[in-house]
Structure 1
Amino acid sequence: MEIKEYTYHLKDIDFIANDVLNYLKDKIILFNGSMGAGKTTFINALLKAMKSNDIASSPTFSIVNEYKLPNDKVYHFDFFRIESLDEAYNFGIEDYLNSNNWLFMEWSERIDELLPNKHQTVTITYFEDNLRNLKLTVY
């Protein structure tokens, strides 16, 4: 397991996203942090670093959003409203997990039993004055 940690202001987010991208070893990334910590904001910076022209928005109600990359796709999940594993199975989570696409997952602890062992975790903590801490854990 490898851990990389950053403390940053929003003006530095593009640099941090580019650096994080260099450490990723798998296409499944779990995003942890409280509501409003900046998970979707960081996902936007990652998309930009990955050369996507799409803008991320929180998929709280749609459960999953799709973003295009030059030669791939990113599926961005928000499991906040998921109340059971059956709901995840009903929208086809197994198909996404078996795809070879990027999977960005917020509130993944709600489907913890379904997650593969091979993933990375980004944990974002918000401090005052728009200062954030990001901890990348690569398994």
Structure 2
Amino acid sequence: MELTYHLKNIDAVALDVFKHLKSKIILFNGEMGAGKTTFINALLKTMDSGDIATSPTFSIVNEYTLPNDKIFHFDFYRIETIEEAYNFGVEDYLYSEHWLFIEWPDRIEQLLPENAQTITITKIDNNTRSLKLTINEKLLTENNAMTDSKF
């Protein structure tokens, strides 16, 4: 899925993207200032969270509540080694059943589960962004197998 959107339409775009998610682990790529946290905030609204997303650059992880779940929002920009990620228990989060929104995932790439999806946001100008949602081929195959089953 690829699209270009104006920031005034971000909530509608977030709803559309949410409908296409096949995983609860979402990796966010984009330059600093591209709008990753802004888009995450729009996703929170779509998912009926009463919370407002803020960048967890210094805290590394923020927790948001949903009616029947949680979202853990990570920003690994300041992480320089995998050991730093292990030190705050990243594996416990990665293999939980909760939603994970991960900014700067390249910093912990070797730890990421295969079932993650990627959202890449590119700033075109002050009010316009392009977005690409990538679905892991293995995840797509697994979901199709589940859909095709006769249970």
Q: TM-score range by the shorter chain?
A: over 0.9
Mapping 1:6-85, distance limit 5 Å:
6-85=3-82
Q: In 2, distance between residues paired with 1:83 and 1:38? A: 22
1:128 Cα deviation from its structure 2 partner: 1.7
1:85-124 aligned within 5 A: 85-124=82-121
Q: Return the alpha-carbon distance in structure 1 between the equivalents of residues 95 and 114 of structure 2.
A: 13
TM-score normalized with structure 2 length: 0.89
What is the letter of the counterpart of residue 99 of structure 2? W
TM-score relative to the length of structure 1: 0.96
- Identical pairs, percent: 68
Q: Which runs of 4+ in 1 moved over 3 A?
A: none
Task: Please state which structure has a larger fraction of its residues in helix.
Answer: 2
Unaligned runs of 5+ residues in structure 2 are 137-151
Paired residues in the alignment total 136
CA shift, 1:130, in A, is 1.2
The one-letter amino acid of 2:116's match is H
Larger relative contact order (Cα-Cα within 8 Å, sequence gap ≥ 6): 1
- What CA RMSD, in Å, does the superposition of the two structures yield over aligned residues? 0.6
Larger radius of gyration: 2
